């Protein structure tokens, strides 16, 4: 089996390397020449744990190669996966399908044989149908099947998620498409991964429904955290008590500064727009989107309150700027709202993130970027934990206190034990937990 993967971003590169791990011959193609050059030189354009070793292994074995030439990549491919970006269209929140359709047009122009085109990108209901029309009109001489195979991997644990998924979803319309996708994922039969074959529209919707539901879980527990703060309850224990109920599950019940990242914000919005298009008002998703937006501003107030009502002239050390740990992805990170809001109120920001600073520096001006956590804490009036990187959990609190001007931690990820932080001499504010006595 030989496949082409169009797009070598977070999803395309991980999926390509993992399909190679499944034994397929994979050619990754990207328009971005600098990415392809880096990959050819043995460098990985993104930070994702384990990805460098996996790419190296399969490049060396001759199963994984990269090119900027789409025609070369798709030549002889049994399946062509489209893994390009589908960001929010500026202004209206619809998924911007420009890259998907550009890739499809290019495939139609250059393809020489019958094949299967698979959307791995997250695309709204009806996109597969539109792709079918493009191929039928432009290449009536060829049999081009279209399938939908949405990706559920999470940045930070992407390889494990791809190699050991909870399920694989395949929207197919023909036996040939079904067989080819079954072949691509054959090694997963060994670990009895459910492979769900559905209609195109159903597969496309499963992806949005999943992300919207997860965003709802996060937003639900965030609102509950606010109530916990008022009534003296501990949201961590509330979440645990709820999550142990098998009908609910423990994952995605961590209170924090609101969801961000490259998927939930854009996918919830796009689902709302799809609902509108089909006269279906998705009120729960709409509320989730609004509550999450308000959440980031609420976190600014939380920090300001902890600083005695104003951050003007104060130095705030921000630990973590990416939307979650183990990634360098800054897309829709809560830090992009929180940091500028603190600056607008007169705070001086020092910040440190283990992997995100290169990207963050382009997006967050006037920040003093630091070499490590302790460097960021020097002279700070408050330390704010925005991302739960493991290295922050192990912070030497005595050393931290000795470096700071004021011993104050605002922990928006609940990584510390309130009693321990209080014992180390800090004033401590976290999310949805009582203040230690
Ligand atoms: P990304 O921006 O990291 O990567 C997209 C890549 O596609 C870029 O390198 C870009 O240069 C390339 N590209 C665009 N048009 C091209 C073309 N015509 N030919 C060749 N290359 C082209 O995006 P991503 O985060 O990998 O997301 C890709 C898709 O996967 C999106 O639809 C996203 O919603 C979905 N998804 C993402 C994640 C995630 O965690 N990032 C998880 C699941 C699904």
Q: What pLDDT, on a 0 to 100 scale, did the predictor assign at position 50?
A: 97
- 18's CB contacts (< 8 A; 6+ apart) are 54, 159, 162, 163
* Annotated catalytic residue within 18, 170, 263, 370: 263
Q: What rounded mean pLDDT belongs to the chain? A: 97
Q: In the numeric block, which tokens belong to residue 61?
A: 């074995």
8 Å CB contact between 17 and 54: yes
Ligand 1 mutation pick, 30, 44, 85, max ligand atoms within 8 A of CB: 85
CB 154 within 8 A of CB 263: no
How many CA atoms lie less than 13 Å away from 360 in the CB half-sphere?
A: 30
388: in domain: yes
Tell me the CA–centroid distance for residue 198 and ligand 1, in Å: 23
65-104 tens-digit pLDDT:
999 999 999 999 999 999 999 999 988 999 999 999 999 9
Q: How far apart are CA 425 and CA 437, in angstroms?
A: 12
Q: What is the pLDDT of residue 434?
A: 84
CA angle, residues 73, 78, 82, in degrees to nearest 5: 60
User: What's the predicted TM-score (pTM) here?
Assistant: 0.96
Residue 203 lies in a domain: no
How does pLDDT run across 327-379, given as a tens digit for each residue?
Answer: 999 999 999 999 999 999 999 999 999 999 999 999 999 999 999 999 999 99
Considering its fold, how many domains does the chain have in total? Answer: 3
For residue 109, is it within any domain?
A: yes
Residue pair 397/420 in contact (Cβ under 8 Å)? The answer is: yes
Do 175 and 183 contact (CB within 8 A), yes or no?
no
Domain boundary among 289, 324, 342: 289
Residues 192 and 219 in one domain: no
Q: What is the pLDDT of residue 437?
A: 56
| Distance from Cα 99 to the centre of ligand 1, integer Å | 9
> Do 271 and 304 share a structural domain?
no
pLDDT digits (tens, 9 = 90+) for 212-225: 999 999 999 999 99
* Rounded distance from Cα 109 to ligand 1 centre (Å): 21
User: Are 173 and 305 part of one and the same domain?
Assistant: no
In a domain? residue 437? no
The domain that holds 280 is classified in CATH as 1.10.1040.10
- Give helix 98-110 / helix 127-138 axis angle, nearest 10°: 30
Q: Is residue 95 part of a domain?
A: yes
| pLDDT above 70: percentage of residues in the chain | 100
284/300 same-domain check: no
Residue 436 lies in a domain: no
How many beta carbons lie within 10 A of that of residue 12, not counting itself?
A: 24
- Of the three residues 289, 318, 349, the one that is the final residue of a domain is 289
Residues 146 and 221 in one domain: no
Q: Is the CB of 144 under 6 A from ligand 1?
A: no
* Gap between the Cα atoms of 73 and 69, Å rounded: 6
DSSP classification of residue 144: E
Residue 257 sits in the same domain as residue 304? no
Answer whether residue 282 is part of any domain: yes
26, containing H or E segment: strand 25-29
Residue 103 in tokens: 């890739």
* pLDDT tens-digit series, residues 276-320: 999 999 999 999 999 999 999 999 999 999 999 999 999 999 999
Q: Is residue 155 located within the same domain as residue 273?
A: no
Per-residue pLDDT, averaged over 42-54, amounts to 96
Which pairing describes strands 368-369 and 382-385: parallel, antiparallel, or unpaired?
A: unpaired
Closest CA to 306 of 220, 229, 228: 229
Distance 195 CA to ligand 1 centre (A): 23
Q: At what angle do helices 200-231 and 283-306 cross, to 10 degrees?
A: 40
Domain CATH code at residue 111: 3.40.50.720
* pLDDT reported for residue 334: 97
- Are 108 and 177 contained in the same domain? yes
User: Which atom number of ligand 1 is nearest to the Cα of residue 121?
Assistant: 32
> DSSP secondary-structure letter at 379?
T
User: Does residue 59 form part of some domain?
Assistant: yes
Q: Which domain holds residue 255?
A: 208-289
Identify whether the C-beta of residue 22 lies closer than 8 Å to the C-beta of residue 185.
yes
User: Are both 72 and 165 inside the same structural domain?
Assistant: yes
Q: Read off the pLDDT of residues 94-133 as tens digits, 9 standing for 90 and up.
A: 999 999 999 999 999 999 999 999 999 999 999 999 999 9
Picking from 258, 289, 320, the residue at the C-terminal end of a domain is 289
Render pLDDT for 151-187 as a digit per residue (tens, 0 to 9).
999 999 999 999 999 999 999 999 999 999 999 999 9
* Residue 233 sits in the same domain as residue 382: no
Residues 93 and 119 in one domain: yes
| 307 & 280 share domain | no
- Give the span between the Cα atoms of 89 and 98, in whole angstroms: 9
DSSP 95-133: B--HHHHHHHHHHHHH--S-EEEEE-S---TTHHHHHHH
Residue to mutate, 6, 9, 149, ligand 1, most ligand atoms under 8 Å from C-beta: 9
Cβ atoms of 413 and 385 closer than 8 Å: yes
Residue from 4, 6, 11 whose mutation best tests the ligand 1 pocket (most atoms within 8 A of CB): 11
| pLDDT at 436 > cutoff 70 | no
Give the three-class secondary structure for 369: strand
Task: Note if 228 is an active site residue.
Answer: no
- Does ligand 1 come within 6 angstroms of the Cβ of 11? yes
Nearest C-alpha neighbor of 118 from the set 198, 183, 200: 200
* Mean local confidence (pLDDT), 227-239: 97
């Amino acid at each position: 089996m030989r496949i082409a993967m169009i797009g070598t971003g977070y999803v395309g590169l991980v999926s390509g390397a993992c399909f190679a791990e499944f034994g397929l011959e994979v050619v990754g193609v990207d328009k971005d020449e600098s990415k392809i050059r880096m990959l050819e030189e043995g460098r990985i354009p993104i930070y994702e744990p384990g990805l460098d070793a996996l790419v190296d292994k399969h490049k060396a074995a001759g199963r994984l190669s990269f090119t900027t030439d789409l025609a070369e990549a798709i030549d002889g491919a049994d399946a062509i996966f489209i893994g390009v970006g589908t960001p929010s269209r500026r202004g209206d929140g619809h998924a911007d399908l420009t890259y998907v359709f550009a890739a499809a047009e290019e495939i139609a122009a250059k393809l020489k044989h019958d094949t299967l085109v698979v959307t791995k990108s997250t695309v709204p209901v009806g996109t597969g149908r539109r792709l079918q029309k493009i191929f039928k009109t432009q290449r009536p001489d060829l049999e081009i099947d279209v399938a939908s195979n949405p990706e559920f991997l999470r940045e930070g644990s992407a390889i494990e998620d791809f190699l050991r998924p909870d399920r694989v979803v395949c929207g197919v319309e023909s036996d040939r498409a079904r067989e080819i996708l079954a072949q691509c994922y054959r090694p997963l039969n060994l670990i009895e991964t459910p492979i769900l074959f559905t209609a195109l529209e159903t597969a496309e919707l499963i992806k949005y429904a999943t992300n919207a539901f997860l965003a709802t879980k996060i937003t639900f527990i965030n609102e509950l955290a606010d109530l916990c703060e008022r009534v003296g309850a501990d949201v961590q224990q509330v979440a645990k008590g709820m999550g142990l109920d098998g009908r609910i599950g423990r994952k995605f019940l961590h209170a924090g500064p609101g969801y961000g990242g490259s998927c939930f914000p854009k996918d919830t919005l796009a689902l709302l727009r799809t609902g509108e298009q089909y006269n279906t008002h998705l009120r729960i998703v709409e509320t989730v989107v609004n509550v999450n937006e308000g959440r980031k501003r609420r976190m600014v107030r939380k920090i300001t309150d902890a600083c005695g009502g104003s951050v003007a002239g104060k130095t705030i050390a921000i630990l973590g700027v990416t939307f979650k740990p183990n990634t360098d992805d800054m897309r829709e990170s809560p830090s992009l709202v929180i940091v500028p809001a603190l600056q607008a109120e007169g705070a001086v920001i020092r910040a440190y993130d283990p992997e995100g600073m290169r990207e963050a520096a382009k997006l967050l001006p006037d920040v003093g970027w630091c070499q490590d956590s302790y460097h960021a804490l020097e002279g700070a009036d408050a330390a704010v934990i925005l991302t739960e990187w493991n290295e922050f959990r192990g912070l030497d609190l005595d050393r931290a206190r000795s470096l700071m001007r004021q011993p104050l931690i605002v922990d928006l990820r609940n990584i510390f034990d309130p009693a321990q932080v209080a014992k180390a001499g800090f004033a401590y504010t976290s999310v949805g937990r009582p203040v230690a006595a």
